[in-house]
Structure 1
Amino acid sequence: MFTVAGEVLEELCGQMGIRDPREVEEFALFLIRGEGELVRPLWPHEYLNSVMVHQDVSLHSRRLGWETPLHFDHPTYIDTHYGQVLRDYLQGKLMASAQEEPQLARLAALQHLGRAIKSPPSEKDLLAYIPKPLQWQVNMATMESLMGQELRQLQGRSSQEAQISFIGGSGTRGLWGKGWRGLPASLALGNEAGQVPEVSSCPALLRPEATSQLPLFGYTVYVVLRVSKLVLPGPALLGLNRKHLILMDPSSQKLCCSIALKDLQRLHLLSPLEEKGPPGLELNYGSADSPQTIWLELPQAQELQNTIIFLLNDSTSST
């Protein structure tokens, strides 16, 4: 039996209780090669038997769009979204701040409760609950004290309630609508009009210290080593969704650049500038009267190019 990617995606979404075709379109199947390397999103019409021809190839589903309301009314839905957001958070891709210790402690406590562990967290556990780039920037004694306070306040919370709270529940509409620290409301979750998704079927006792408050929530994030137009003290974070591509400086947590996908004219993959260095991606954008160019250097340049093309086609087909 020949199966296309779109059918598999519909089945996966059905297992999460997703019935709205618009929400199904916000997910994509990625082809993975080797040690978890994301290669590219699959087009809905692609036959799996034509791409699954190598032993080291597998598939991974990911939510790329977050415009439709989140509805935490199905266990698989909760697990899937929590897993994706948690991975991005712990890798430092949502851009949490070491200075926001109460928020880090809250999210650490929610992770611990999300594991349904009754015993107090060990020091090793606590360290693992903190985003990797921040682990050596926080005061562990302070974090241990704050996390203890949070666990006492959250006593009685179920593992699923903790996972929902980690993502964000009631009250997050106002947070998203305001944008976040230099990220305009029009870019919050990449919505052109600044509209943000509602979160339904959530416990009313949720607090705003959630990952949905972080600047790159709702984006697929890449670490960019060099950018042609920016002089930064370290790598930048590139956020990509169905409307925008943005670049942020993790050290200052400020927005450096924003490009609407509809303004992109051409994408060109660049060879590495140095031997054994990462490839690059050149973006031509803007109007004919005011053309602009920017290039990015990152290991996942080809994946980024493929994902942008996928999102551009998705945006065109849905309008």
Structure 2
Amino acid sequence: SITTDQHHVYFATTGGVTRYNLFTNVWATPLTTSNGLVDNRVNVVAVEPVFNELWCATRGGVSRYNPRTESWTTYTSSSGMFLDEVHSIGVTADGRLLFETPEGVAEFDVDRQFWRTDPSNTISGNSVFTRWHGARRQKTYDYPIFVTDIEYFFDPPDQILDRYFRSYRLTGIMEDTFSNVWIGTWGLNVGKASLRSLELDIQPTGLVTRNVTAMSFDGDYLWIGGAEDTRSAGRATRFIRGVENYQDRGGITRYNRTTREWKHYQPRDTDGLQNGTITAIVVDTATVW
């Protein structure tokens, strides 16, 4: 899922929460277990507008992030709360957060700062306006058909196709305050579409694979090689079924340490790179080997 506040766009991923700074137009440092997130496999993210805090539903519980103090609070499945399989977060107009799971609903009162749970699912956001994130968010598409480059074909609300007609499922759509529409995909990173130019730009971010096997520095660039991650290859998340996982199949990541821009090279879209298993990377004055 995708959510925004006044400064960032946040993306739930299988490797933590990635975030894009709307003022500097660069990718900020991701939020992971290394800085307080309870688990890197994030199902849903939502921003609560009263205190402007980020809530992250993971398979290990729900983590609450305060961007002002950069501090975390984590709630786990205890005392009757069902927080390790949250598939939807609802933000109500009267100051509540609803966490839906297969076992029931947990509610957090933002003003009074307390929880209550209801296995019978009678807690509901239907009586007041509720903005849903995750599985409960309606799969409607109310934007133009954005134009992409020749590499891709945008086919909302379901997919983006590449030039080989491989399909990448759309996992989330969110508009920010700068007239951009952010599009999450399964396997093709993030799309940033402008409502002014009607152009859609695919923006890679993060590593091609978490199984890092080689690295080399080249001035401002860091080249990172990887191999297929056998721990996660072919495995879909609990809430996204029937989608082939193109991530973690190996390849090369190039990161610009000055501009914080990422570029991916994988066999499926890079002529001459026949295998994604990288065992070594060496840089000379003109070539990367």
Q: Check whether TM > 0.5.
A: no
TM-score category of the 2 structures, normalised to the smaller one: under 0.3
Larger fraction in helix: 1
Task: Name the structure, 1 or 2, with higher relative contact order (CA <8 Å, separation 6+).
Answer: 1
Larger fraction in strand: 2
TM-score, structure 2 length as denominator? 0.27
TM-score, structure 1 length as denominator? 0.25
